[in-house]
A and B are shown apart, each in its own frame.
Chain A
Amino acid sequence: MKSNVCKLLSTAAIAATISTGAAAATLDDVKSKGFIQCGVSNGVPGFSNADDKGNWSGIDVDACRAVASAIFGDDQKVKFTPLSAKERFTALQSGEIDILARNTTWTYTRDASLGLDFTAVNFYDGQGFMVRKDLGVTSALDLDGATVCTEQGTTTELNMADFFRKNKLSYVPVVVQKADEALSAYDQGRCDVYTTDKSGLAAHRTKLANPSAHLILPETISKEPLGPVVRHGDNQWKDIVTWSMFVQVNAEEMNISSKNVAKVKSETNDPGIKRLLGVEGDMGAQLGLPADWAYNIIANVGNYGEVFERNVGPSTPVDLPRGLNALWTEAGGIMYAPPVR
């Protein structure tokens, strides 16, 4: 019951700490302690996962590294706190972490009632179903009477219930506390169907005894925009996290990557790129950041396309297509960021 203990402690922490006010300057705190405390998952391949030496990697990890690059010019000034789905919001509310980047879905209730703010979307996801191929199911609408396994503490329970109710299908829910046990219950045959976000299905399928015997159904039953979260009320900090993401999307659009950013900086004549990379003007000062903040993000972490390819792209075990996460200029893509000017 470690998770419950943690939660109690953080609850007690909220109760015991003397209020520092809603508009606490997280940037000043971060600068004085010299690193960012970043809340991540216990291990979701491609999003936030630690290797055997304790080095974290993933899209969410890179979101935190980008912010560290913007502030310190060093993407290693991040410390990671692994959190379960249930612990994550309390850890952020109580100030234990500065950013929550834990494949967290942006929803109305979370944004409005938890004292939190979502900053940007770094992955457009949607919930799907995985079944055994030998069941002969080709559509989620064939699942009447099926037993469905899922993990607790996420948005999937509600989506699953809504989907089956909307389509008047009966089902048996088996809700397990941790993702790994939910998956092995499915693998053992307790359930016909395993449901979670489609990126998660792809990642989890690699862990099954025989991955090729399982099929991810075509239906996407929900919108799951995932992104980093900060505490409500600290607008400057929110803007820093938001624009650290937007810079990466803009960089991909302008064909600036970690490989060519130094060259582009010295050679470009484009005033827009000069402003972005801090050659002209001082855009960073408006957010309390150094002039070369965007340059550092691109040089250390790369543009959004590089981040995607490195963590979840076709060359990785997770093997996800760009899909919705392609730039808006590509077919089927909706990844779009306001301009830096």
Chain B
Amino acid sequence: MSDKTTPSNNSFLNDAGNRALIFQIVLLVMVVFAGYYLFSNLQSNLDNRGISTGFSFFNEPAGFPILIHLIEYTEANTYGRAFFVALINTFVISLLGIILATIIGVIMGLARLSKNWLVARLATVYIETLRNIPLLLQMFFWYFAVLAALPAPRNSYEFADFLLNKRGIYSPNPIAQDGFGLVIFGFVLSIVASIGLIIWAKKRQTRTGLWFPAYWSSLGVIVGVTFLFLAVSGFPIEFDLPQKSRFNVTGGMVLPPEFVAVLVALSTYTGAFIAEIVRAGILSVNWGQTEAARSLGLRDNLTQRLIVLPQALRVIIPPLTSQYLNLAKNSSLGAAIAYPELVAVVMGTTLNQTGQAIETIGLCMLVYGSLSLSISVFMNWYNSKMSLIER
């Protein structure tokens, strides 16, 4: 702004920039004050009612058992450790759910677009049924229907050393013996070699245009080299086999029905939504792109992989992110069918035993908030990586 256009009586308050600043400061003060007021009110009310506060209970022994724990946990461990056990269970089910739902969604989305009438109709039925039934109901269905269909432990279905009954799927548990370090060394070595192979193949293709099946070869290298090291070190693995006992099956590894039911319910439900997103994404790519690719002589699967999918992804990723967020949050429904995730362990048992409602609920909100935000941040990064780079 030049001096000529500025009115001479321009006071401090008449300046748009200053005014905006003042309003923001006033708003900030109001928000901080409201927050402080609510917090101090909460504090004094809790004091008046004689309710103890704080996170000191985290160091006390929890005393309760947890069905599924991927880290060592017994009743003698603390509430803090129980929290981490639950946190890991939530992470695991969310991560596996997201991977499975994506696979199911892509397959079903493509199937619904298939020229094969039966395949397309079956996919339609799957999508429309699962999208329109509440998730909690589906969880109960998977849990109780599966339980009803399976036999009692003493009449387990047996395949080789695997057992299947109402208590879960039991498999042999591999236990590493002396010399297993050598096998791990071989495995790491083969991964390094594979990465090298992929980089070499890419460079060669850029230089000469010649194509090399790097991914399949890498898989072969990893399996082959690891097996070679296994054989050289004399197969240093022993298996702990599951065995029927009086009540249950002892030994081996077990996949409990609660875990399976939650995973199946989450991934098939979210998969139905993802299928529609994938279909929409593929349909959004102009047919001319496919025709252009064909006229360049690209085969059908290369056309899909190199031309259609990358463009479809730009449409798919943003709504896909919100499906991932939904799945992570929906994992909390697992509490209803005894899957020990965060809501069950922290907002259920811990809250009940300690009575610390504000701390435990606050903690759960924080965890779900950060879990969702990290998924969001990752997907936004992926989205910007995949987005159209304009030159």
A binding-site residues for B, Cβ under 8 Å: 1, 4, 7-8, 11, 14-19, 21-22, 85-86, 89-90, 93, 109-110, 113-115, 135, 143-147, 152-154, 157-158, 160-162, 165, 171-178, 181-182, 184-185, 188-190, 192, 231-233
The majority secondary structure among interface residues of chain B is helix
Closest 8 A/B residue pairs (Cβ): A115-B49, A115-B50, A173-B65, A115-B51, A15-B42, A188-B147, A114-B355, A157-B64
Write out the residue numbers on chain B whose beta carbons fall within 8 Å of the beta carbon of A109. 353-355
Q: A86-B348, A161-B75, A189-B166 are in contact. Are A145 and B340 (CB under 8 A)?
A: no
Further 20 A-B residue pairs, CB within 8 A, beyond A158-B63, A181-B140:
A1-B333, A8-B361, A15-B39, A15-B42, A19-B45, A22-B50, A89-B357, A110-B355, A114-B355, A145-B247, A157-B349, A158-B64, A158-B353, A161-B63, A172-B167, A173-B66, A175-B338, A177-B336, A181-B336, A233-B49
B binding-site residues for A, Cβ under 8 Å: 38-39, 41-42, 44-46, 48-52, 63-67, 75, 140, 143-144, 147-148, 152, 166-167, 245-248, 250, 257-258, 332-333, 335-338, 340, 343-344, 347-349, 351-355, 357-358, 361
A161 (CB) vs chain B CBs: closest residue: B75
CA A146 – CA B250 in complex, angstroms? Answer: 11
CA A22 – CA B65 in complex, angstroms? Answer: 36
A15 (CB) vs chain B CBs: closest residue: B42
Write out the residue numbers on chain A whose beta carbons fall within 8 Å of the beta carbon of B357. 7, 11, 89-90
Least CB distance, B217 to chain A, in whole angstroms: 45
Write out the residue numbers on chain A whose beta carbons fall within 8 Å of the beta carbon of B358. 11, 14
11 A–B contacts from the bound complex (CB under 8 Å): A14-B42, A15-B38, A19-B41, A93-B49, A113-B354, A114-B355, A144-B246, A145-B246, A154-B352, A185-B337, A233-B50
Least CB distance, B81 to chain A, in whole angstroms: 14
Query: Residue B247 contacts which of A115, A146, A174, A233 (CB distance < 8 angstroms)?
Result: A146
Determine if A185 and B352 form an interchain contact, defined as CB atoms under 8 angstroms apart. no
Determine if A18 and B41 form an interchain contact, defined as CB atoms under 8 angstroms apart. yes
Residue with the greatest number of chain B CB neighbours at <10 A, chosen from A1, A160, A232: A1
Determine if B166 and A153 form an interchain contact, defined as CB atoms under 8 angstroms apart. no
Determine if B248 and A147 form an interchain contact, defined as CB atoms under 8 angstroms apart. yes
CA A332 – CA B377 in complex, angstroms? Answer: 66
Least CB distance, B131 to chain A, in whole angstroms: 20
Determine if B67 and A173 form an interchain contact, defined as CB atoms under 8 angstroms apart. yes
A150 (CB) vs chain B CBs: closest residue: B338
CA A263 – CA B311 in complex, angstroms? Answer: 91
Determine if B355 and A4 form an interchain contact, defined as CB atoms under 8 angstroms apart. no
Write out the residue numbers on chain B whose beta carbons fall within 8 Å of the beta carbon of A113. 51-52, 354-355
Determine if B347 and A4 form an interchain contact, defined as CB atoms under 8 angstroms apart. yes
Determine if A11 and B51 form an interchain contact, defined as CB atoms under 8 angstroms apart. no
Write out the residue numbers on chain B whose beta carbons fall within 8 Å of the beta carbon of A184. 144
